[in-house]
Amino acid sequence: MTDSVNDSAPGAASGAVERPFQADVARLLDLVVHSIYSDRDIFLRELISNAADACEKLRFETATGQVAGSGAPFRILIEADKQGRTLSVEDNGVGMSREDLEQALGVIANSGTRAFMEKLEGAGDKGPAESLIGRFGIGFYSSFIVADHVDVYSRRAGQSEGWKWSSDGKSSYSIEASDNCPPVGARVVLHLKSDADAYLDVSSLQRIVGEHSAGIPVPISVREAGGEEQTASEGAALWARPRSEIAAEQYAEFYRTISGQFDEPALTIHWRAEGRHEFDALAFIPGSRPFDLFNPERKGRSRLYVRRVLVSTDADLLPPWLRFVTLVVDSADVPLNVSRELVQKSPVLGAIRKAVVGRVIQELAKLAESDSEKFGAVWTNFGAVLKEG
């Protein structure tokens, strides 16, 4: 990674344009930064998750011919610069254009944001507050828990111009053209607060990646500025690994990463379906009730992969009465050379959905027989929703 110097190259001559945050963003930033956190490390998990999603998006666009791929393997690189007191997270994913930066980092478009913030404001202790971070795509803002200034350098795949987004996380942000960007992808540079020295230590970064992001399907490396890269995670997709190799805590951390929750899963269901349609699946039933469980707009959190290529983060794989389930499905039978909309209507997807629902119900029935106390807790949290089915 290059460090976050002031842009003076010709491509940056247009100058920075400063814009105020949308009102909801400014309010949200204040809430996130001043919430009580038992684990500040969460910001790194959120940045890694965003970087992995960017890699998955470019993998999809390349596989479907929307952009020409470089052929370079996807990776996430975390760099600590002790002298400059910066921590950087860089990926070679899809990247962002100027418009993408404004929409992703300056505006919160999700209709549930206001309810989210009201819930966060009403959280009386750190547990409920923490359980809300990572929803609605706001994980990036957790950077300001440990940083007093954040720069994002990004270049969108298929575009030549690079852009720098910059903010102190208070009332405004600026965007300007920049030549200090990766060839493709994004580099997030955190200018750390005085009490965040721990995040300049490579061994600490290795530990955090191992604890929070080992299941991410993109390799992750760490290094000191100017030093050698050290592998922190091989990038093996958790759902594709044998169950015997996966510890309960690894499942739990992966669940937290993709669900945005901070609890322990009450039930983990990991299986490989064989027969007419083969697929790997990993489903989690939360240990606590999501705050928006009864929001009519809430859907199940279902990620659909086709041969390790992320096709959708909201695939129609769960009925409304299982909307509390977090699910990952990876299939080789769904065609990639069609639009995401057509993928959703694929008869193969219908068969997978039926199989997934059947397996979840089967495992719940087993739990009721084997552990009535645990099943009772699940029923207390989700019985009203299950009755809808």
Query: What would the pLDDT profile of 294-339 be if each residue is shown by its tens digit?
Result: 876 777 689 888 877 777 888 889 999 999 999 999 998 887 655 5
Q: Decide if pLDDT at 110 tops 60.
A: no
Higher pLDDT, 129 or 205: 205
- pLDDT reported for residue 128: 42
Domain boundary among 211, 233, 255: 233
- pLDDT reported for residue 313: 80
Can you give the CATH number for the domain in which 275 is found? 3.30.230.80
CA distance 35 to 29: 10
Q: Decide if pLDDT at 377 tops 70.
A: yes
pLDDT of 121-157, one tens digit each?
Answer: 665 544 444 444 444 456 788 899 999 999 999 999 9
Residue-number span of the structural domain to which 352 is assigned: 238-386
- pLDDT reported for residue 126: 47
- pLDDT reported for residue 129: 46
- pLDDT reported for residue 153: 98
Q: Indicate whether 5 belongs to any domain.
A: no
Q: Please state the rounded mean pLDDT for residues 284-293.
A: 89
Q: Indicate whether 195 belongs to any domain.
A: yes
- The number of C-alpha atoms within 13 Å of 32 and in the hemisphere containing its C-beta is 26
Least confident residue range of 32-46, 53-67, 308-322, 330-344: 330-344
- pLDDT reported for residue 176: 97
Least confident residue range of 169-173, 184-188, 280-284: 169-173
Domain boundary among 233, 264, 287: 233
Domain boundary among 218, 233, 248: 233
- Whether 364 and 258 map to the same domain: the answer is yes
Q: Please provide residue 319's backbone torsions phi and psi, each rounded to the nearest 5 degrees.
A: -75, 165
From edge to edge, which strands make up the β-sheet containing 162-167?
17-20, 172-177, 162-167, 147-155, 185-192, 86-91, 76-81, 220-224, 230-233
56 to 198, 216, 314: CA distances (angstroms) = 30, 11, 14
Q: Decide if pLDDT at 14 tops 60.
A: no
Q: For the whole prediction, is pTM greater than 0.75?
A: no
- Whether 116 and 73 map to the same domain: the answer is yes
Indicate the DSSP class of residue 131: H
Mean of the per-residue pLDDT values of the chain = 84
- Whether 43 and 123 map to the same domain: the answer is yes
**How many residues in total does the chain contain?**
389
